[in-house]
Structure 1
């Protein structure tokens, strides 16, 4: 059946028989499974043209969805079982509503690539192979980070990617909402964040080395109602949305809107625009009470919009030069009896960790939040290789592994000169498939601190959904299998088998309209001749 991600146990019966959907097939759900049934009926009705009526059947021509206590005990709330046979119909039992939903996603794959279309192509038989599947995820956090700050993605693109995530059983959308180049969420107490901070005058085309500019203004943001809609849409697909508000670096868009947030005793913060180029930026937030109160108010509004446990506060790539030159920052260091600027950043992170904990939430940040001492309740997203995640796990902190060396989807996909805007080292589909999120040198207890893994799509050079598709797929499909399936050690993985299953999966992506990178390389319109990147030779460092 060429399922992706591969299920834990899949037993086709020794027969060529199959359950065939037809005009009389019904689709029923027990309490707890209604949401999955609603989604499955809408998805399959569009593709097949079949009504799949929600009435209790008199015979075996039925797809039945149910939450099952035994499955919950054995496989957990996201686990599921599928039993399909021509004489009994299709039965999907989930350990909870999420498990039923993931089982429904598997059923859609079993029906063939045309089940992913939005309208029927004509008369055909819709067969479900006779089988028994038992499945559950390896990790509870199976994430995809979408950077909408560098290049804004309207909400219809976010909905589309939520659907693509659901099709691959990914369950955390990390939205990178703010950066130097744009602020993308409405904050009613601070309207200038979107009036000024949500757009820039022009945009560097390519990386910093490029001489090219797009002279059109670029911008956009999500209203609070947009965010509520995105979160509701995600929740229906059992996906949690984790917002990221960058503190204290990557904050020039906020400073451009409210200059009092910057280090005004060092630079003229009132003259700072929203940044138009890329790279690590020296203009960071001042470690002041004004900054603390401002971001507390921002987070107060965000907590009303995002009901999930985690709030991401960035914490990465914060140059300390302005703090070293700032009399106000140095005074703060002395007042707090801190050792240096690293401890000053740690103090900021700890402040928001405590603030969030008091409100029943948890802070997560990039692995730089380890510098100067980690806040007690914080979780770490380990991006600079594995070392930060290992250190955090050994210190008793939860970790999401997302090392740039393996799962940064802005990195180029091959050594070919035809790759568009080549960045860093080549990371192929096979490289991602062989990614192992849990380092072998962790003890069992330490390894249990790795709560999940995440692939990150930074969009400095992804200026449209077509470019995003090319960079994300098919690698996100390989990543989804790493996050879901209990794979063997990287060198022992069945790459040939996965590659064969991908040949079927490409047809599903085609039906969904995903403009992925073909195995043979980019199509002519996917190349970007004349735009320099920053390629690096040889294998990436494993830190």
Structure 2
């Protein structure tokens, strides 16, 4: 077994050599890259070593244009460590690998290790398989405090994931400050109670829930993510999943009713209307979104849009006649295109859930997030559109992890650790030209039933660790070798980081939710 078999995700190429590089008081950490300052801060805390810029034994970082973007070459000898990276992000990934090679104690916040910290000698040549290695974090259903978002970003970075899809709005809450429309957060960020359990099977509690991020909060999250090689893609979901917005501004709705922020889960019949004023409202919202988020890609949602209210609306019928549309589904596409064109004028392009591919021509540059299965992604890729694969049958991490009787709130498809590790983002039979349109894949953490950071840990890990290897490492996989690396080396790292992951043999007693109904598929 190679001493580099501890690395997760598995690197592209490894060449072990004899010997070790010992860390000590005379070890120098040098280079002008942000990765150097990050690594110095992490290792000083964990090892107690000064790791100054001068010393006898050197760990040196530099850039090398001959290496691919996000790639790196790590060479460890008994007297020096040389790290060359294709870009600053690649240097961050090299630093993450170096920390893994030092053992779980290198992930602590204070020195607990009684022996020598050592690095095994050899060469690692590494690069990601996919450019989009994402995870969706739903902060709309259950709000996650900013400090916990930072922690989640640290965990993503430790797994070389590079896109945080931040689901900021839904029927159950609006989480982003919009200065032009303050009631979106004074009203829309709070609901009176929540359903505990799945849909109609669950019971309402009597506990108000809410919270939102100011613009400066989100700018801080964006900067923190960027320093760790992560792009934050914000989602403002339209024209469905909008009851929180309608509760704040009833004129956005179709019925004229005063709605509250929704206390249930599932598909909501309330959608926004298609008036000029509503289109202007959401254009203004997206103007404030692009002020805060530098990401080229902005998510407009577009999923699960019931058409009944538009079918009954004279205003909607008038809009259809004006635009020459024959179905309400085409009206759905028209609304999405209004947002896409507006964002394009600001140098951005959209990603949307796969329903946007069924309601008319896709806007130029639109990316399809294939969630209801793989076929929508296959069709979009063959039509020349870029695709992110995120099928619920494979990579929805809020879905149940086993048939264990204590599995908390068991919803959705059975998605074991082995299932996630076996997922292949490029569907079988997809020709090379279409496969090139697959940007990568994204795991989802929807939070209807993940109401605390501890529940989020349980749902995410270690399945997100398996997913990270799927999207980073070469396509060939060895499940038994992965499980050894995970159980022997990576779970101890998660322990050191304080992650309350699901044990491989089933939940701890305190991780169960007896009596709370789920709905397995």
Q: TM-score, normalised on structure 1?
A: 0.94
Q: Does 1:140 align with 2:144?
A: no
Deviations 1:40-96 (A, max 9, x none): 0011111001110023x4x4x01101111222xxxx120000000113x11111001
Q: Whole-Å Cα distance in 2 between the matches of residues 215 and 333 of structure 1? A: 42
Preserved CA contact (<8 Å) 1:149 1:176: yes
Q: Does 1:368 align with 2:352?
A: no
What is residue 22 of structure 1 aligned with on the other side? 24
Q: Whole-Å Cα distance in 2 between the matches of residues 153 and 101 of structure 1? A: 26
1:287 to partner: Cα distance:
1.1
1:425 to partner: Cα distance:
2.1
Preserved CA contact (<8 Å) 1:158 1:230: yes
Q: Whole-Å Cα distance in 2 between the matches of residues 209 and 248 of structure 1? A: 24
What is residue 8 of structure 1 aligned with on the other side? 12
> Structure 1 unaligned runs (5+)?
537-543
What is residue 68 of structure 1 aligned with on the other side? 64
Counterpart of 1:498 (choices 468, 482, 486) is: 482
Preserved CA contact (<8 Å) 2:105 2:113: no
Preserved CA contact (<8 Å) 1:173 1:239: yes
1:212 to partner: Cα distance:
2.0
Secondary structure of 1:130's partner?
strand
Preserved CA contact (<8 Å) 2:202 2:517: no
Secondary structure of 2:29's partner?
strand
Q: Whole-Å Cα distance in 2 between the matches of residues 226 and 249 of structure 1? A: 26
Q: Does 1:82 align with 2:94?
A: no
Q: Whole-Å Cα distance in 2 between the matches of residues 122 and 238 of structure 1? A: 29
Q: Over aligned residues, Cα RMSD in angstroms?
A: 0.9
Q: Give the 5 Å matches for 1:46-125.
A: 46-55=45-54, 57=55, 59=56, 61-71=57-67, 76-87=68-79, 89-125=80-116
Preserved CA contact (<8 Å) 1:204 1:210: no
Q: Give the 5 Å matches for 1:69-468.
A: 69-71=65-67, 76-87=68-79, 89-263=80-254, 267-269=255-257, 271-373=258-360, 374-468=362-456
> Structure 2 unaligned runs (5+)?
none
Mean alpha-carbon deviation: is it higher for 203-212 or for 228-237?
A: 203-212
Secondary structure of 2:514's partner?
coil
Q: Whole-Å Cα distance in 2 between the matches of residues 144 and 237 of structure 1? A: 15
1:359 to partner: Cα distance:
1.1
1:437 to partner: Cα distance:
0.6
Preserved CA contact (<8 Å) 1:248 1:318: yes
Q: Whole-Å Cα distance in 2 between the matches of residues 29 and 528 of structure 1? A: 49
Deviations 1:395-429 (A, max 9, x none): 11110000000000111001111100001221110
Deviations 1:444-470 (A, max 9, x none): 111010011100000000000000000
1:211 to partner: Cα distance:
4.1
What is residue 501 of structure 2 aligned with on the other side? 516
Q: Whole-Å Cα distance in 1 between the matches of residues 384 and 202 of structure 2? A: 46
1:268 to partner: Cα distance:
3.2
Deviations 1:158-182 (A, max 9, x none): 0001000000000000000000000
Q: TM-score, normalised on structure 2?
A: 0.98
What is residue 541 of structure 1 aligned with on the other side? none
